[in-house]
Amino acid sequence: MKLFTHPGASSMHVHILLHEIGAPFEIEVINVTTKTRADGSDYREIAARGMVPLLRLDDGTDLTENVVVAQYVCDLARREDLMPAARSLARYRVMEWQSFVAAELHKGFSPLFWPIDDTAKAFVRERLLDRLKIVDAVLEGRAFLTGDTFTAADAYLFVIASWALFFQFDLSALANLRAFLARVGQRSSVRAALAAEGEGLVRVQAA
């Protein structure tokens, strides 16, 4: 398999999961802003939408979209700790959190990349902080989103929530989230992904 990724982008959570499952894979770091590959060619020649992640399977098939690629990777390795069994409630709980991270956090950060005025920026930051407070409350008394087991949803949350550190959000009141970011940031899979592609927007919370 080959993963096309951008440093510290949402695709890093797929990179983390690939390390978690221990399967052989390659990565190619591309510039998603300019849509260029390392050799200078146009990334859109292989990825029409110009987005990451793109996972190229061994048979040449390409798979895209964060949540879909993450589920595929976990199912490929039969890692039901990362993505519980099909039709189980536990799986839907993980998918529930994947959807929340995608819709409420990942897309919520998008306006901070736009040339918006300070009033609009303050609104976006306040809304994001409210969503992060929801996560902080859920993490009370548990290590990960669905309990004591690290899942694909946690890999996604780690990457996206850590963007709050890049954008200098005040997380001092969110002790559970800060502990989560520090704890997941020490996983060997996370350290390996950061070393291979660079941190980009991702920042590791100090313990």
Query: Is residue 201 a part of any domain in this protein?
Result: no
Output the pLDDT for position 176: 98
Does residue 160 register a pLDDT over 90?
yes
Are 27 and 6 found together in one domain?
yes
Query: Is residue 109 a part of any domain in this protein?
Result: yes
Omega within 30 of 0 (cis) for the link into 53: yes
What is the Cα–Cα distance from 186 to 206, expressed in whole angstroms? Answer: 10
Are 93 and 62 found together in one domain?
no
Find the CATH number of the domain harbouring 69.
3.40.30.10
Are 99 and 154 found together in one domain?
yes
Query: Is residue 182 a part of any domain in this protein?
Result: yes
pLDDT digits (tens, 9 = 90+) for 53-66: 999 999 999 999 99
Find the CATH number of the domain harbouring 101.
1.20.1050.10
Output the pLDDT for position 28: 97
What is the Cα–Cα distance from 108 to 62, expressed in whole angstroms? Answer: 27
Are 116 and 158 found together in one domain?
yes
Output the pLDDT for position 42: 97
Are 93 and 179 found together in one domain?
yes
Average pLDDT of the chain, as a whole number: 97
Range of the domain at 27: 2-76
Residues forming a β-bridge with 63:
55
Query: Is residue 108 a part of any domain in this protein?
Result: yes
pLDDT digits (tens, 9 = 90+) for 20-48: 999 999 999 999 999 999 999 999 999 99
Query: Is residue 204 a part of any domain in this protein?
Result: no
Are 17 and 57 found together in one domain?
yes
In the 3-class helix/strand/coil scheme, how is the chain assigned residue by residue? CEEEECCCCCCHHHHHHHHHHCCCCEEEECECCCCECCCCCEHHHCCCCCCCCEEECCCCCEEECHHHHHHHHHHHCCCCCCCCCCCCHHHHHHHHHHHHHHHHHHHHHHHHHCCCCHHHHHHHHHHHHHHHHHHHHHCCCCCECCECCCCHHHHHHHHHHHHHHHCCCCCCCCHHHHHHHHHHHCCHHHHHHHHHHCCCCCCCCCC
Output the pLDDT for position 40: 95
Are 101 and 171 found together in one domain?
yes
Give the chain's domain count. 2
Are 99 and 71 found together in one domain?
no
For the chain, give the percent of residues with pLDDT over 90: 99
Of 76, 109, 132, the domain-final residue: 76
pLDDT digits (tens, 9 = 90+) for 81-116: 999 999 999 999 999 999 999 999 999 999 999 999
For the chain, give the percent of residues with pLDDT over 70: 100
